[in-house]
Amino acid sequence: MNKNSIRDRILASLSLAGMGDALGAPTEQWTIDEIATHHGGLVTRFEAPTEDTFAGANAGKRAEVTDDASQMYYLVRALVAANGHLEHDGWVACLLDWVNTSPKAGFMGPSTAGIVKALQEGGDTASVGVIGRSRRKMTSVGTTNGAAMRVAPAGLIHPGQIEAACEQAFITCLPSHDTDVAISAACSVAAAASHALVSHSLDDIISAARAGASIGERLARVRARTVAGPSYLARLDMALAIARDAKDDQAFMRQMERTVGNSVLAAESVPAAIGVVAYAKGDPLRTIALSASMGNDTDSIATMAGAIVGAWVGTEALPQTLLAEFRAANATDFDLDELASGLSDIAWCNLQPLAV
């Protein structure tokens, strides 16, 4: 492992995550059957999002990222500016910068939207979603996948160091996703991305995703809040069992939708994304194609799965025609080479103590 290979894997992670986001944008909220009929199988080409998708309603164009990957790229900038030590205030400033400057901020997720509104109005973010005059919040507040979809860079700056990756991921969960399920999911993605940079084994990457989920649960119990509802780790184990036992792509996607779910909820789309990583066996095109074909929150699923697989395989393994189209479509807004270089400088410094 050397600095060039770390940089290449980070670039591949940022690229495949964005490619997945753009591939899934035109199928978001569609059903599995609608997608299969329109594409004649799995989604393997970029299309312009239509008006019945969030990206289309937000004037999204062919091969462009949505709010999912754009938030991730803004997080990269913030991590680089903070030299890999992004604190709460820096993250909040980054989030508000994204809201104020990104053309993709028009359709932010429900958890992020409520917190952003409170921050802009100078209100108390702790009161968002509070029930009556109590301090209890509605269970639905903070349980979506917004933190997990953007969190991979928190893992990319800590190669093979999942505890450190989860600590940085935890910061980016607050104040919008302050629940055990959202934090567990975000730490799972961050840990998987962290381990993917240094691993030769997909099984080890999946194990890191499970370990990160456990770390996230622990962090939430002590420093955030626990809510009623399904366990992310339990849903992840269900998703991995489906990935292990599925006989074909359609059976895999339908069983995942039926039993785990594929919605914006962290307990559904995030384990589904890890399940895709396991089922596609690290194949980058199949990873984002399956994610974009399984219905509902396709762009988020593809962003998360793409980030993990890209970190594992490097840029040469990516589908080069799609990559070229993706880079051209997003070059005005994001310089992926610069973003990857900034993260790799931090990652390499963090990796050195492990080599001593």
HEC string of 282-344 equals: CCHHHHHHHHHHCCCCHHHHHHHHHHHHHHHHCHHHCCHHHHHHHHHHHCCCCCHHHHHHHHH
What domains, with CATH codes, occur in the chain?
3-123+141-355 (1.10.4080.10)
CA distances from 85 to 56, 88, 287 (A): 36, 10, 31
Q: How far apart are the first and last CA of the chain?
A: 13
Both tokens of residue 346?
A: 């931090």
* Tens-digit pLDDT profile for residues 192-247: 999 999 998 999 999 999 999 999 999 999 999 999 999 999 999 999 999 999 99
Assess contact for 114 and 141: CB atoms under 8 A: yes
pLDDT confidence bin for 119, thresholds 50/70/90: confident
Provide the whole-model pTM: 0.94
Distance CA 161, CA 155 (A): 8
* Tens-digit pLDDT profile for residues 86-106: 999 999 999 999 999 998 887
Distance CA 219, CA 32 (A): 36
Residue 151's closest CA among 163, 165, 141?
165
Q: Which residue has the tokens 């080599």?
A: 355
Assess contact for 257 and 269: CB atoms under 8 A: no
Q: Cβ-count burial of 134 within 10 angstroms (0-12 exposed, 13-18 middle, 19+ buried)?
A: exposed
Assess contact for 46 and 76: CB atoms under 8 A: no
Give the number of residues written for the chain.
356
Assess contact for 157 and 346: CB atoms under 8 A: yes
pLDDT at 255 over 50: yes
Residue 136 confidence (pLDDT) = 64
* Tens-digit pLDDT profile for residues 275-314: 999 999 999 999 999 999 999 999 999 999 999 999 999 9
Both tokens of residue 187?
A: 């730490």
Q: Cβ-count burial of 136 within 10 angstroms (0-12 exposed, 13-18 middle, 19+ buried)?
A: exposed
Task: Please report, as a single letter, which amino acid is at residue 184.
Answer: S
